[in-house]
Chain A
Amino acid sequence: MSFLHDPQFGDRMITLMAALVLVLQIAMVGQRWLMTNIRMFALQSFLLATIAGTIAFFNHAEHVYIAALLTLFLKAGLLPYLLVRLVKRVGIQQEIEPLINVPVSVLISGGLTLVGYIVGDSFYHPEETSAAAALGHNTLAIAIALFLIGFFMMLNRRKALTQVLGLLCMENGLFLAGISLTYGVPLVVEFGIFFDLLVAVMVLGILVYRIGETFDSMDVSKLRRLRG
Chain B
Amino acid sequence: MILLWLLLVPLIAAPLAFVLAKRPAMEFVNLAAFAIVLSLAGALGGQVLRSGPVSLLDGFLYADALSSLIVLLTAFVAFVCSVYAVGYFRHDEQNTIFVEKEDVLGEVASQKLRKYYSLIPLFVFSMLLVTLANNLGVLWVAIEGTTLASVFLVTFYGRKTSLEAAWKYAIIGGVGLSMALFGTILTYYAAHRIPGTETLTGLNWSMLVANASHLDKPTMRLAFILILLGYGTKAGIAPMHTWKPDAYSEAPVPVAAMLAAALLNCALYGLVRFYILTSKCLGPQFASHLLIFFGLLSMGVAVPFVLVQRSFRRLLAYSSIDHCGIMVLALGFGGPLGILGMFLHMTFHAITKPLLFFCAGNIQQHLKTDLFRKAKGGLIHSMPWTGAAFLMAGLAVTGSPPFSLFQSEFTILRAAFGGGYFLPAILFVAFLVAIFSGFLVHIANLVLGADPGLPKAEIGRWKKYSVLGLASVIVVMGFWIPSPLIRLIQGAVEIVASAR
Contact = CB atoms under 8 A, between A and B. Distances in A.
A203 B170 CA distance: 9
A6 interface: no
- Report the interface size class on chain B: 35 or more
A174 B181 contact: yes
Residue with the greatest number of chain A CB neighbours at <10 A, chosen from B168, B174, B314: B174
Interface string B130-142: 0000010110110
B303 interface: no
Given A122-B218, A215-B160, A225-B161, A174 B166 contact: no
A181 interface: yes
- Interface bin, chain A: 35 or more
B170 A207 contact: yes
A4 interface: no
A207 B308 CA distance: 32
Nearest to A147: B182
Given A167-B174, A186-B199, 4 more contacts: A174-B182, A203-B151, A225-B160, A226-B245
Contact of A211 (B167, B182, B219, B311): B167
A189 B174 contact: no
Interface stretch (B185-193, B372-380, B438-446): B185-193
A151 interface: yes
Interface string B47-66: 00000000000001000000
Contact of A188 (B135, B178, B222): B135
A186 B203 contact: yes
Contacts of A228: 245, 305, 308-311, 314
Interface string B189-233: 100100000011111000000000000001100100000000000
B423 to A, nearest CB: 29
Given A188-B200, A189-B141, A178 B167 contact: no
Contacts, number: 123
Contacts of A220: 167
A107 interface: no
Nearest to A123: B219
A186 B135 contact: yes
A188 B174 CA distance: 21
30 contacts: A154-B175, A163-B171, A167-B171, A177-B182, A182-B185, A185-B137, A185-B185, A186-B137, A188-B200, A189-B135, A192-B137, A192-B138, A193-B137, A193-B141, A195-B141, A196-B141, A199-B148, A200-B147, A200-B148, A200-B170, A204-B170, A204-B174, A207-B163, A214-B163, A223-B164, A223-B168, A226-B164, A226-B165, A226-B249, A228-B310
Contact of B178 (A122, A170, A210, A215): A170
Interface of B: 60, 135, 137-138, 140-141, 144-145, 147-148, 151-152, 155, 160-161, 163-168, 170-171, 174-175, 178, 181-182, 184-186, 188-189, 192, 199-203, 218-219, 222, 245-246, 249-250, 305, 308-311, 314
Contacts of B219: 123
A154 B189 contact: no
A174 B178 contact: yes
A78 interface: no
B133 to A, nearest CB: 10
Contacts of A182: 185, 188-189, 192
B199 A167 contact: no
A124 to B, nearest CB: 12
Interface of A: 119, 122-123, 147, 151, 154, 160, 163, 167, 170-171, 174, 177-178, 181-182, 185-189, 192-193, 195-196, 199-200, 203-204, 206-207, 210-211, 214-215, 220, 223-226, 228
Contacts of B203: 185-186, 189
Contacts of A170: 175, 178
Query: Quick one: which of B151, B311, B314 has the most chain A CB within 10 A?
Result: B151
Contact of B164 (A188, A196, A204, A225): A225
A19 to B, nearest CB: 22
A185 B138 CA distance: 11
A122 B223 CA distance: 14
A186 B151 contact: no
A196 B171 contact: no
Contacts of B186: 181
Nearest to B218: A122
Q: Which of A154, A182, A203 has the most CB of B within 10 A?
A: A182
Given A186-B202, A188-B137, A193-B141, A210 B182 contact: no
Closest 5 CB pairs of A and B: A189-B137, A192-B141, A223-B164, A181-B189, A226-B246
Contacts of B161: 225-226
A196 B155 CA distance: 20
Given A147-B182, A210-B155, A228-B310, A200 B163 contact: no
Contacts of B181: 174, 193
B175 A167 contact: yes
Contacts of A177: 182, 185
Nearest to A140: B189
B64 to A, nearest CB: 21
Contacts of A123: 189, 219
Nearest to A192: B141
Interface centre among A203, A211, A224 (most CB of B within 10 A): A203
